[in-house]
A and B are shown apart, each in its own frame.
Chain A
Amino acid sequence: MTIVLEGRGITQDYHVREGFLGGSRTVRAVKGVDFRVERGQTLAIVGESGSGKSTLARIIALIDPQSGGTLKIEGQEIDISRQRVTHELRSKVQMVFQNPYGSLNPRQKVGDVLMEPLLLNTRLSSAARRDRAEAMLQKVGLAPEHFNRYPHMFSGGQRQRIAIARALMLNPALLVLDEPVSALDLSVQAQVLNLLGDIQDEFNLTYVFISHDLSVVRHIADQVMVLSKGEAVEQGPREALFADPQHAYTRQLFAATPVVSVDAIRARIARRQEARALRSA
């Protein structure tokens, strides 16, 4: 098995200016996390707001340089504070963002959205770029006639398909998905999760899937990392982690997640009736 993504002791510091007269303090948003993901696998990173999960996603997606630690993609050590992100490197890692309403340029036609990565990173002819973009539209479940439309003409689920198509244009090895279904309705979420599953199988893609939703993580992940306040408090294969969470924070997260089961509902109603009977007695 080849390791596509590896991180050792990744940290991220932000310098926060305090007050009017300068003076600053350092906030460590990611406090030394380790991870490795094999080709074709999905690492889910779970955490609440402020856990550092999106900060980590931006480091893995080569958008922000890490403050410390080593990051390897397909065995190559990368620190973008010291090296340029080459076209080849950019082609390996692509990202899909949470909000498909914000991540697509409203003035850009869908076809141009898809062709732009090729224009910037490859030397393909315009005809070849167009062919690939049209093929990709179909792959993600849209139609060729969508090529000349603008993002506002699409629903949230369709826009997320466009964002996924854009991320796939350069044949990446690794896709960083930052809450890709959080803004979507349940039925649309199911379609997008199915699409992500299909293209992962087809292209043997490796995913880093950022989410706060444990039911989605349980469905899609192979490996799970639980982040809290910048620390990976627990990490392991999905089955083991869900069957027997070790860390107190993981258990707290599980306990807070609503359970959709008839037994749980029955127990809740019984508790409520009991409490009422007790009071009227």
Chain B
Amino acid sequence: MALLTIKNLTVRFATSTGSFTAVDGVDISVDKGEVLAIVGESGSGKSVSMLAVMGLLPDTATITADEMRYDGQDLLHLSPAERRRIIGREITMIFQEPVASLNPSFTAGFQIEEVLRINLGLDRRAARARALELFQAVGIPEPERRLKSYPHQMSGGQCQRVMIAIAIASNPRLLIADEPTTALDVTIQKQILDLLMELQDRYGMALILITHDMGVVAETADRVVVQYKGRKMEEADVLSLFDAPQHPYTRALLSALPENATGGRLPTVSDFMAAEAAR
């Protein structure tokens, strides 16, 4: 059953040179407990559509959709108070730059306890105890000490674990991860992806993973949406997508992977689109 349904979402930005359409008529839905990957290159609108759901776009953005529904509730026509009950609690999000996502002036413990006190109404002592549990759940070594650490005292991988701990603090039913491992080394990337998959499985959360990395898609997703220049090119379960990609753009992306190269040259997306047009 669909947890989040978006139909015909369009996001336009007012710029000095006129209106720019970042997302153009995209349908996305994610089921309970499902891992959906949204894959695309820069400018594909993959982040913008999710920021629209979260209400994190600036005032210059105009959002229109036929439908934007979370668990039966219409996200387009909620009062701010009703929105706050969903966004940040039932739907949470983590971002690409973990070090920049945390406030440098406060300890990691303060930042997670703030969420626990405001969103869950825990008192100080209960919040501290729960924060410790959450830090243990996301595999932060020496969790007591880390509660007192500032973001600059931790590595990028540890900061991302803190972000994940904050994001799962309210037992969300949908976690949106926007390029969560792009700033991290491959060995750390593996740890973070393994952690996200384990938490997703343990809590039965739905997970939307926004990424440009086909490797990350292959290692995590159940279903995949491929976006290009604000439009959805293809949607398929992960096996069909890699086994028999239907859209020329998906085929182009997969063949541009260095590991799929045959001989010295890599086919580029423009070569591919030209060859397709000539056919």
Contact = CB atoms under 8 A, between A and B. Distances in A.
Nearest to B254: A260
Interface stretch (B75-83, B125-133, B167-175, B212-220): B212-220
A218 B185 CA distance: 18
A260 B250 CA distance: 14
Nearest to A48: B185
Nearest to B190: A256
A252 B191 CA distance: 12
Given A49-B185, A212-B185, A259-B218, A190 B260 contact: no
Interface in A261-281: 261-262, 264-266, 268-269, 272, 275
A contacts with B: majority SS:
helix
Interface in A213-252: 213-216, 218-220, 252
Interface in B201-258: 201, 212-216, 218-219, 222, 238-239, 242-243, 252-254, 256-258
A186 B260 contact: no
Contact of B218 (A188, A260, A272): A260
A187 B219 contact: no
A226 to B, nearest CB: 12
Nearest to A219: B258
A259 B266 contact: no
Nearest to A216: B258
Nearest to A183: B42
A260 B257 contact: yes
Which residue, A49, A187, A257, has most C-beta atoms of chain B within 10 A?
A: A187
A260 B215 contact: yes
A269 B215 CA distance: 15
Contacts of A213: 258
Contacts of B218: 258-261, 264-265
Contacts of B261: 219
Interface size class of B (residues with CB under 8 A): 35 or more
A193 B266 contact: yes
A142 B116 CA distance: 54
B259 interface: yes
A193 B256 CA distance: 10
Which residue, A190, A197, A260, has most C-beta atoms of chain B within 10 A?
A: A190
B215 A258 contact: yes
Nearest to B218: A260
A258 B239 contact: no
Contacts of B216: 258
B186 A212 contact: yes
Nearest to B40: A185
Nearest to B257: A260
A256 B186 contact: yes
Nearest to B260: A260
Interface string A161-205: 000000000000000000000000111111101100100000000
A185 B41 contact: yes
Nearest to B265: A194
Given A212-B185, A255-B190, A269-B222, 10 more contacts: A187-B269, A190-B268, A191-B268, A193-B258, A214-B186, A256-B190, A257-B215, A260-B254, A269-B238, A272-B201
| Closest A-B pairs by Cβ, 3 of them | A258-B215, A187-B269, A219-B258
17 contacts: A186-B214, A187-B256, A191-B270, A194-B266, A219-B261, A220-B258, A258-B189, A258-B213, A258-B215, A258-B219, A259-B218, A259-B219, A260-B242, A262-B239, A265-B218, A265-B238, A275-B201
Interface of A: 48-49, 156, 185-191, 193-194, 197, 212-216, 218-220, 252-253, 255-262, 264-266, 268-269, 272, 275
